[in-house]
Chain A
Amino acid sequence: MRSFTSLLCAMTVASAVAGPLHAETAKTILFLAEDVPSGLDLDGASASITTSQTGMVNIMEPLFGYATKGVNASGITVPDFSKFEGRLVESWAFDPKTLIWTLHLRHGVKGCTGNEFTAKDVVYTYERGKSVSGSTPVGWFLANVASVKGFTADVFKNPAARTLSPDEVKAVDDYTVTIAQSEPNALFLPVLTIFGTYIFDATLMKAHATDKDPWAHDFANNVSPASFGPYCVERWEKNQEIIFKANPNYWRGKPAIDRVIMRRVPQSSNRMVILRTGQAQLTQNLTPREFDSLRGAPGLKVEGVEGNESLFIIMNFKIKPFDNIKLRQAIAYAIPTEQIIKTGYFGQAKPWHSIVPSIYPGYAETPTQYPYDTAKAKATLADAGYPDGKGLEAFHDSFQLTYPAEKESTVGPIVNIIQSALRQVGIPATLNPIPLAQFGDRTLVKRDLPFALNDYDKAIGVDAGYTLQLFLVSANKGGIANESDYSNAYIDETWPKARVETDPAKRNALLADMQEQAMKDVALLPIVEFKTQYALSDKLTGLSWQSDSSERFFDLKLQ
């Protein structure tokens, strides 16, 4: 036994001396994430998990993307949300009278299997979406948001409505597809950039269809639906790692990085420590403190982007005393934004002046603002009928500030700051961490949380209107993420108008009005927008950002 142990020790030392990972002939990078994809089906159970989305966006290709705006100060390439460029689509035209989009598809696009991309793949994708056969009908949802003809709620109740008809999506010829809208909804192009509408390789998917599973959901979730994207799946061990291999036939050219090994390392401190030794080249989702500590580390750099991540407070209109607008405003004045930016985010955040991400088209800084002012907070609280918080003890349960327990390491300091600030003003706030799954259920489905802090929900469609629809329209009128159960007649009436307004200027004006109304009512209380950060080797360049925050490996280059 002794000799075995010493042999083991010797080997451990020897292997460590061998040094960190070197890319020799083929360029390989090791990317550490808190998890690896647990499914790759766009309509599957993992579609809402960000690490799964990372897998999806790198193995499949959209019809449209955003043009590049440039590289930001930190080194991240950011998109220009006002300009679309075709990806699988070469050129396109829209007929406002028939509401039909004609898409001319790119030639010579080959997928991981060598199959060539043609119109049938687009049609298959929409057929699949309309079949709503997956665990979560993401494809249908996005098409519905974009008002694609035929994608109504009817499909759930009426099986006959699930078949795609040619007047909805049609393959005119091998490289031409028409898609019809049911109304002039400006969200069409933005939606087609979202991962949920990426295009499947029909031949591949049909080859793996079975009688019980005609749309190959099992195959997509457990093997790989890698279609026309820049990477294919070389190996996939759920809960452990996934290895992406470059698609040599990718239409933009073979990616610079041959292999990306995405490894699951659940402890963020371990991710940081491994990165520091140089064994890994890229990681994400460290705590703000960890990112801050890596800033000067040799061989590493920390890059951040002002994206669409934000922190906001939910106060439920249907639970007393949050139906009192003055009380809501009092709380708004009591939030110490600067302190949160400094202590919670180490300076990598900025105050948020509307309920829409500031980079989204249609964002308007509202005239009504609630800068941090304890005197004003106390005065407004008195106006609300609770001078110095007297009378609020009766609502003790409503003032439990709820947040996801899994996020304790990042959100913990922030909720403590908010709790003390509120108590100073007289509001009896306490803390209530609950499991993430329960948090999601209660904010989105049951809507029964009185008082909560949310740092992860965002609208993935890059449009203020889309955001407003999700979060502010009444729940029964399309406001599916209306977490504060807000219901305002003006907003409910204005949104349908804005949705189909073709004149961008008029549309933006309507959206601005809606944002101002929401701000006056404190529909949701925006606090800060914080940077999305990444830590990487200084030899790695080309990191880019899109609205889903997933890394695109194609753009990366390793020196």
Chain B
Amino acid sequence: MGRYIVKRVAVGLVQLIGLTVAVFFLIRLLPADPASRLVGMNPSREAYEQARHQLGLDQPLLTQLGAYLGLSSSGPGLLEGDFGTSWVTSSPVGSEIATYLPVTLELVTISFLIAFLVSVPIGMVGALNPGGRSDKAVFVYGLFAGSQPEFWWGLLFVYVFFFALGWAPAPLGSLSPMTSPPPSVTGFLTIDSLLAGQPDVFVEALQHLVLPVATLVFVLSGPIVKMVRQNMARALRADFVLYANCAGLPPARVARYALRAAMAPSMTLIGILYGFMLGGAVLVENVFSLPGIGQYAVRAVLAYDYPAIQGVVLVITALSLVVYLGIDLIHAAIDPRIVH
């Protein structure tokens, strides 16, 4: 198993390097010129040239690649862990990603945990009582939740729960503007506030997460419930479940047998959804003014901020590879037939 992990990590590193170089060249094929964005109010020829020089765009492509990787003499590059400087904010891309990524991770991870805890029992009940009341209710919910995009639900929730009912805090971001955030250790507001011994900030951070998490949970639960239900129904028809009934095992135990068999393929879906949501949460981030990685990525692409684009692609890909490896390991832990 250890060898397997090492092999996967090594392959992943090679993939990342290949991807970095590929993205590096591909974004330079985009039709707009990042330098011209900088010279908005001052588009003199000289300013334009100056901007191009500042961004290093007047150099040959391979030299730019070398500088980005840190192979040239102009300072540290990607190979030393320096992601470069954003062309919009002039802040280091690495520290920007380190600020925004935890926001998204916090949102997506909490949403997935809750979606998982909510969806699995519902799926189970649906499989154990097919055609029953809860099954029908879930079917309707699945149709309903999947029919609108998540930002529509987000805006609706804001309108109903914040504006009309006043139950939720304003969609102003992760904390109220009056509260000063705790010192940043991990980047996760919830963890940092606990580490700093500020339980009131912790509670406030959770309050501000309620609506965005509810939006994501609402939308994610649909596919997860369906998948769990389907897999569990299939497991319940398996021979070993029949045999367990024959052997007189209590129904709760038999249900657990079936659930465990259903979990392995369901985990794969959940892992893929998670990797997808890292970028896919951008619309929810936008609605709730959360400074997440999706926002950062969109802004980087629209502003042709090459170092930021490259940095985001790299980080999200690396995260996805880690998630997929984790899923494979969990799958192997659940199902001993899988051999690595």
Contact = CB atoms under 8 A, between A and B. Distances in A.
Nearest to A48: B40
Interface string A395-424: 000000000001000000000000000000
B145 interface: no
Contacts of B206: 8, 11
Interface string A198-235: 00000000000000000001100110000000000001
Contact of B89 (A45, A137, A269, A440): A45
A46 B89 contact: yes
B238 interface: no
Interface string A225-268: 00000000001011111000000000000000000010111110
Nearest to B159: A273
A346 interface: no
B173 A273 contact: no
Nearest to A36: B291
Interface stretch (B2-10, B42-50, B218-226, B252-260): B42-50
B158 A273 contact: yes
Given A263-B172, A267-B155, A480-B44, A135 B177 contact: no
B115 to A, nearest CB: 13
A210 B48 CA distance: 26
Interface stretch (B128-136, B163-171, B318-326): B163-171
A263 B171 contact: no
Contacts of A32: 172
B39 A437 contact: no
Interface in A266-295: 266-267, 269-270, 273-274, 276-277, 279-280
Contacts of B166: 16-17, 277
Dominant secondary structure at the A interface:
mixed
A32 B170 CA distance: 12
B91 interface: yes
Interface in B86-123: 87-91, 96, 99-100, 117
Contacts of A406: 302
A39 interface: yes
Given A266-B286, A437-B37, A480-B44, A235 B296 contact: no
B219 to A, nearest CB: 18
B38 A136 contact: yes
The range of chain B's interface size is 35 or more
A138 interface: yes
Interface string A523-546: 000000000000000000000000
A47 B204 CA distance: 35
Given A16-B167, A132-B50, A263-B177, A270 B88 contact: no
Contact of B51 (A17, A49, A136): A136
Interface of A: 1, 8, 11-13, 15-17, 21, 28, 30, 32, 38-39, 41, 44-49, 132, 134-138, 140-141, 144, 153, 156, 217-218, 221-222, 235, 237-241, 261, 263-267, 269-270, 273-274, 276-277, 279-280, 406, 435-438, 440-442, 444-446, 460, 480-481
24 contacts: A8-B206, A12-B207, A15-B204, A15-B207, A16-B167, A30-B177, A39-B90, A48-B38, A48-B41, A135-B90, A137-B42, A140-B47, A141-B44, A153-B45, A222-B89, A237-B99, A263-B289, A266-B289, A274-B171, A277-B170, A437-B304, A444-B36, A445-B36, A460-B41
Closest 4 CB pairs between A and B?
A: A48-B40, A438-B32, A441-B36, A445-B36
Given A12-B167, A32-B172, A444-B43, 7 more contacts: A13-B167, A30-B177, A135-B54, A239-B295, A270-B170, A437-B303, A445-B39
